Amino acid sequence: MNILAHRDLLRIERPHRIVLHVHLQRRPIEPAALEKFVDSQVREGTYRSREAAIVAAVSHQKRRSEQLAWLQSEIQKGLNSGPTGELDIENVIRRGRRRVAARARRARS
69 domain residue, yes or no: yes
92 domain residue, yes or no: yes
State residue 100's pLDDT score. Answer: 96
Q: What is the tens place of the pLDDT at every residue in 16-54?
A: 555 555 555 567 778 888 899 999 999 999 999 999 999
108 domain residue, yes or no: no
97 domain residue, yes or no: yes
State residue 93's pLDDT score. Answer: 94
3 domain residue, yes or no: no
Other CB atoms within 10 A of residue 50 CB: 13
Looking at the structure of the chain, the number of domains it has is 1
Say what the pTM is.
0.50
11 domain residue, yes or no: no
Give the domain range for residue 80: 29-103
93 domain residue, yes or no: yes
18 domain residue, yes or no: no
Q: What is the tens place of the pLDDT at every residue in 76-94?
A: 898 888 877 788 899 999 9
